[in-house]
């Protein structure tokens, strides 16, 4: 018995769905870029802007979930995606600073030959 065709996005929601998907990509990139730039330059304004970009990302995910008619499992996936988007730049920044701190401490040691 063939399954019926499923149309998850209604035609009137298609543009909003497409726009929210694009906004997820742009806001995610903005969040990561602004966070890194704020940490590199030690300017908290960029970090605050990064969190504002993340808020836009969360809103876009909510719109995508609503217009795509996500249910149970897919809402959990969307929530996990938001957690991943939030944690990734923080974890990458910590990894980079830890890596470079160890790198600099090695190179800053005097070269003593016996």
Is residue 32 domain-resident?
yes
- At residue 11, the pLDDT reads 83
Domain that holds residue 52: 15-100
If one counts the domains in the chain, the total is: 1
Residue 7 has pLDDT above 70, yes or no: no
Within a domain: 9: no
Arithmetic mean of pLDDT, 25-49: 96
| Stated pTM of the model | 0.79
CA–CA dist 105, 82 (Å, integer): 35
- Domain assignment present for residue 10? The answer is no
With respect to residue 108, please indicate whether it lies within any of the assigned structural domains. Answer: no
Do residues 64 and 81 make contact, with C-beta atoms less than 8 angstroms apart?
no
């Amino acid at each position: 018995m063939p399954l019926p065709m499923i149309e998850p996005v209604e035609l009137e929601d298609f543009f909003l769905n497409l726009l929210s998907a694009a906004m997820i990509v742009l806001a995610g990139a903005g969040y990561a870029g602004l966070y890194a730039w704020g940490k590199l330059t030690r300017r908290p304004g960029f970090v605050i802007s990064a969190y504002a970009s993340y808020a836009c990302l969360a809103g876009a995910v909510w719109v995508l979930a609503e217009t795509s008619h996500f249910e149970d499992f897919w809402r959990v996936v969307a929530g996990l995606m938001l957690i991943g988007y939030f944690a990734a730049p923080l974890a990458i920044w910590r990894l980079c600073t830890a890596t470079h701190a160890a790198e600099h401490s090695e190179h800053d040691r005097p070269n003593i030959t016996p």
